[in-house]
Each structure stands twice: as structure tokens, then as C-alpha cells.
């Protein structure tokens, strides 16, 4: 019998801190991304700030900073959000679940983290339902059937919403990419009907069985670029944002992708009124009946919620303005 060591480790409690009041006009911190879910959306800042917002971008409660490190990824489950904080200076990585209900509060500061790290103890993100320490650097998270699927530098895992492990597997490999000798990372983990799709920056695609992590389908996209981000809609398919500024649109992951040229890099895309819309470097765009339309903007759009675009200065504006 082979003994498996848990990918998680211990927790401790921390005191509550005061929170930050925000408005829809200005969120109070520079945003990094929006983690979108059916019950709530979570706006993440560049230094670990978090804010719950509704489908119109209106704040739910107040902003907070539960842990003193950048939040590198997050995913919304049924009644909670699960995030990962990574501090490279101290070599600390935390995964924790925060409830959609109730107040989100501030956690420790960086000095407290430094002292706790040097003593070998652990800190828990404030207000979390559960918290774990990751023993390997995270890459990407997603959800499938209410469970959490995530990848690290050492493998891929499924846990339930209470952090109980369901299965673990090795990271997918694509020989065509390996022979190129390039550094590749997982860029997307997405539950789809009948499986979980995993995409890499270099264009690797694999669909795995959510019951055990085994491979169902694998291919490599001929993209000639790096994938910077991926958006998915069950009814409308995939929109892949390329590092060089274009988009790849495809209805089903097994099909041939369609290239959509853009004026600059795209940072977020979403289905609004049945059509793909996106925002990014000084422009917004829409794919209407297969044809792209572009709208210039002064700032850099980092996220779309309905008819609103969140820009990198932390302010909201209407799409296309």
C-alpha cells in the first residue's frame, strides 16, 4: 500500500479586523479580476482585497482583506467562494472558503504573517469556513458539480466544498508541447457537461472524467501564441483570450476554433444578451452574428458584469463607452 500525504496542512484562528466601505462608482482598490458565480460575484484586488458584488456590480456588504497576500485565483461554489493566496516572499500559500452570507472581515497584516511564518505556525484567512496550506504552488481552479477541481505544480485534485479529497491525478501532458521545450502552465479548469476541461497556455486541451480524473479526450490547439485567459458559457461555448491580442471562439472544445482579431489584448469576456462581449486594453468589443464590433475606451477594462465594465483604476462604466 502506498501512503498518500495530504496536500493540505493546519489552521489557527485570528482576530477580526475592520472593513473598508466602497461604492459602485469606485471600489476603493485596483482590481485584478472578477470571479463570477450564480449566487454572487467576487471582485479581487491586486493586493488581496475582496468585495462581493451582485449581477449589476452593486456591492454586497463591504470590502475586506482577509489575508495579507495577493489572491491569485478564486472560484464560486454553491454557497461559498474558495480562494488561493500566494506570498512568494515568505513562501506561503493558503486556500480557504468564505461564505456568501455574513460579513467579510480583514485579517492579519504582513508583519503578523512574517512573525508567524518564522515561528513555524500558521494563519487562517479571516472569517473562513475552512482553511488549508498548499504544499505546492497553485496554477488554476474550477468547479464541477459543486466540487472543487484545482491544479498545482505537482498535480491535479478534486475536493468537495468542505475540502475533503475525492481524487488526485498527475498533471496532463501533451507530447507535442513537451517537444517544443517551452514552459507551459494550466490556464483554465472548467466543468462542462460530461467532464472537466483543462487548458494550458500553450494550447493543450484535455477533458477528464470528473468521477476519477482519467482522460476522456486530448488535443493541442494550433495557435502560434499563448492563451492568457478563457471564458466559457454552456450555451455559447468558449472564448479564449490570446496574449498577442486576438480571440479564439469555438462552440465545442473538439471543434475548429475561429480567430477574432482585436485592437489590443482582451482581459475578460462574457455572454450578455446571447452575444459574446469583451473588454481589455483601451477597447470593448462584441461578436454579433459572427462579426466583431469594437468600441474605444480611455481606460483598461478588467471585467464585465452585465452592461458594466470595471476598469483598472477601480471604477465602473457602461460597456462601449
Q: Specify the pairing of strand 80-87 against strand 71-76.
A: antiparallel
Q: How far is CA 208 from the centre of its chain?
A: 19
Give the up-direction half-sphere exposure of residue 274: CA atoms within 13 A in the CB hemisphere: 3
Residue 105 lies in a domain: yes
Interatomic CA distance for residues 214 and 195, integer angstroms: 10
Residue 85 lies in a domain: yes
Quote the pLDDT of residue 11: 37
Burial status of residue 35 (CB atoms within 10 A of its CB: 0-12, 13-18, 19 or more): buried
Domain that holds residue 65: 18-134
Interatomic CA distance for residues 211 and 242, integer angstroms: 31
Residue 163 lies in a domain: no
Q: What is the CATH number of the domain that holds 60?
A: 2.40.10.480
Quote the pLDDT of residue 61: 87
Specify the number of domains making up the chain. Answer: 1
Burial status of residue 235 (CB atoms within 10 A of its CB: 0-12, 13-18, 19 or more): exposed
Quote the pLDDT of residue 8: 58
Quote the pLDDT of residue 117: 77
Residue 234 lies in a domain: no
Interatomic CA distance for residues 145 and 150, integer angstroms: 14
Residue 265 lies in a domain: no
Q: What angle is formed at CA 142 by the lines to CA 138 and CA 143, rounded to 5 degrees?
A: 135
Residue 36 lies in a domain: yes
Residue 68 lies in a domain: yes
Quote the pLDDT of residue 290: 87
Please, what are the averages of pLDDT over each run of 10 residues along the chain (321 residues)? 45 35 69 92 96 91 94 96 94 94 92 80 90 93 97 96 97 93 94 97 97 96 93 95 94 90 96 96 94 94 95 94 85
Residue 305 lies in a domain: no
Q: Are 126 and 16 in contact (CB under 8 A)?
A: yes
List Cβ neighbours of 51 (8 Å cut-off, separation of 6 or more): 22, 27, 28, 42, 43, 45, 59, 61, 62, 63, 64
Confidence (pTM)? 0.89
Quote the pLDDT of residue 25: 63
Question: What one-character DSSP code corresponds to residue 24?
Answer: S
Amino acid at each position: 500500500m502506498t501512503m498518500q500525504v495530504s496536500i493540505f496542512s493546519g489552521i489557527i484562528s485570528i482576530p477580526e479586523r475592520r472593513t473598508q466601505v466602497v461604492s459602485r462608482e469606485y471600489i476603493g482598490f485596483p482590481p485584478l479580476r472578477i470571479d463570477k458565480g450564480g449566487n454572487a460575484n467576487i471582485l479581487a484586488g491586486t493586493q488581496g482585497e475582496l468585495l462581493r458584488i451582485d449581477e449589476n456590480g452593486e456591492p454586497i456588504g463591504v470590502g475586506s482583506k482577509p489575508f495579507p497576500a495577493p489572491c491569485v485565483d478564486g472560484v464560486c461554489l454553491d454557497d461559498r467562494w474558495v480562494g488561493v493566496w500566494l506570498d512568494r516572499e515568505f513562501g506561503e500559500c493558503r486556500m480557504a472558503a468564505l461564505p456568501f452570507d455574513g460579513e467579510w472581515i480583514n485579517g492579519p497584516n504582513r508583519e503578523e504573517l512574517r512573525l508567524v511564518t518564522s515561528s513555524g505556525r500558521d494563519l487562517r484567512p479571516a472569517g473562513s469556513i475552512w482553511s488549508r496550506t498548499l504544499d505546492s504552488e497553485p496554477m488554476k481552479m474550477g468547479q464541477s458539480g459543486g466540487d472543487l477541481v484545482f491544479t498545482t505544480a505537482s498535480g491535479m485534485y478534486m475536493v468537495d466544498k468542505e475540502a475533503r479529497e475525492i481524487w488526485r491525478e498527475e498533471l496532463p501532458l501533451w507530447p507535442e508541447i513537451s517537444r517544443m521545450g517551452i514552459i507551459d502552465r494550466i490556464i483554465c479548469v472548467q466543468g462542462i457537461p460530461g467532464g472537466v476541461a483543462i487548458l494550458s497556455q500553450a494550447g493543450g486541451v484535455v477533458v477528464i472524467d470528473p468521477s476519477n480524473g482519467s482522460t476522456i479526450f486530448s488535443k493541442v490547439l494550433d495557435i502560434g501564441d499563448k492563451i492568457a485567459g478563457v471564458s466559457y458559457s454552456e450555451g455559447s461555448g468558449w472564448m479564449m483570450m490570446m496574449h498577442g491580442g486576438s480571440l479564439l471562439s469555438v462552440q465545442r472544445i473538439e471543434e475548429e476554433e475561429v480567430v477574432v482579431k482585436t485592437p489590443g489584448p482582451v482581459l475578460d469576456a462574457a455572454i450578455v444578451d446571447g452575444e459574446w462581449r469583451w473588454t481589455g486594453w483601451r477597447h470593448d468589443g462584441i461578436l454579433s452574428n459572427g462579426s466583431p464590433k469594437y468600441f474605444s475606451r480611455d481606460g483598461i477594462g478588467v471585467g464585465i458584469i452585465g452592461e458594466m465594465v470595471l476598469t483598472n483604476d477601480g471604477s465602473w462604466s457602461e460597456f462601449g463607452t
